[in-house]
Amino acid sequence: MTVHDSRCAGHSGLLGNFAAKIKMGFALGIYEKHVRDELNMIRVIRNVFAHHKGSISFDSEAVTNGCNTLFIPNKWRLAGGDTPQTTKERFYNSARMLYVYLEDPLPPQPKKFATHPFYSALSE
């Protein structure tokens, strides 16, 4: 079975939605808990826009509350950018920084399992 196999990536496949992909990335040790949590909030905000009946904007209470929980805009800025002020800027900043982080061309470094006792015992 390959990643492109419909059993894996199709809409009803194992990785058929964003939440499943986030869980899999975390389980594989691709990123740490705080990145997983940020990705989940991006997913929740996206779902508010996708499934809300009626009009919705970044000024809506649910979206504003979600964007205010994003941690990346408080820690990092895009090159040459000011600290994001609006909810839309916070969302964009977080999504863009996550993209840069996940598309980093450097070889991946094991984050989660490298020091786990189970794996240490295997190498002995």
Q: What confidence tier does 114 reach under pLDDT thresholds 50, 70, 90? A: low
- Please indicate, yes or no, if residue 114 is contained in any of the structural domains: no
- Please indicate, yes or no, if residue 36 is contained in any of the structural domains: yes
- Please indicate, yes or no, if residue 7 is contained in any of the structural domains: no
- Please indicate, yes or no, if residue 53 is contained in any of the structural domains: yes
- Please indicate, yes or no, if residue 45 is contained in any of the structural domains: yes
pLDDT on residue 73:
85
Query: How many distinct structural domains can be found in the chain?
Result: 1
- Please indicate, yes or no, if residue 84 is contained in any of the structural domains: yes
Q: Do the Cβ atoms of 73 and 41 come closer than 8 Å?
A: no
Write out pLDDT tens, residues 32-90: 899 999 999 999 999 999 998 889 999 999 999 999 999 988 887 666 667 777 999 99
> Is the whole-model pTM more than 0.75?
no
Residue for token digits 């496949």? 13
Domain that holds residue 99: 31-107
- Please indicate, yes or no, if residue 120 is contained in any of the structural domains: no
- Please indicate, yes or no, if residue 57 is contained in any of the structural domains: yes
- Measured between alpha carbons, how far is 106 from 116 in angstroms, rounded to an integer? 23
